[in-house]
Structure 1
């Protein structure tokens, strides 16, 4: 039983060591890749559009807004650009309320 416990503790120590080594290797590789990408972006004058739009990523576009809805009570019309006034408004007893 104690032999199994010793083997388990040894394997646990090896696992911890390997996790630390993997994290250090990933950090070093990350820095190298990032430096390479930054150098190429500067060299070729790339933008995020060049990189991500061609990869199929949808970049955020500004939304075109409609015309503002401005009421026109002075001439009896409804809203600017919306055509004739609705019948339920036209037939109202007191439109000035």
Structure 2
């Protein structure tokens, strides 16, 4: 019977092989998708997106939004964990009041 160390080494080797296979297959899949898009004249906009365009994030809260983030994010300002954009703004020395709607 193999030891724990031997089994862990085998598992690591298999994970390395699996990651390499994933990268190879991913490259082939992306190439196929690009070729099909070119063949039919499909753009990213046709697929519901475009480079550099972020979609508005829906709020999970039922409270009305009081603050709007730099990328259009909304926050009601209630109790609980602050959104990442609020924490980043506060850490950068900005006032939350500058984001009030």
What TM-score range do you get, normalising by the shorter chain?
0.3 to 0.5
Higher RCO (C-alpha under 8 Å, 6+ residues apart): 2
- TM-score (norm. length: structure 2): 0.45
Q: Which has the larger radius of gyration?
A: 1
- TM-score (norm. length: structure 1): 0.47
Q: Which has the higher helix share?
A: 1
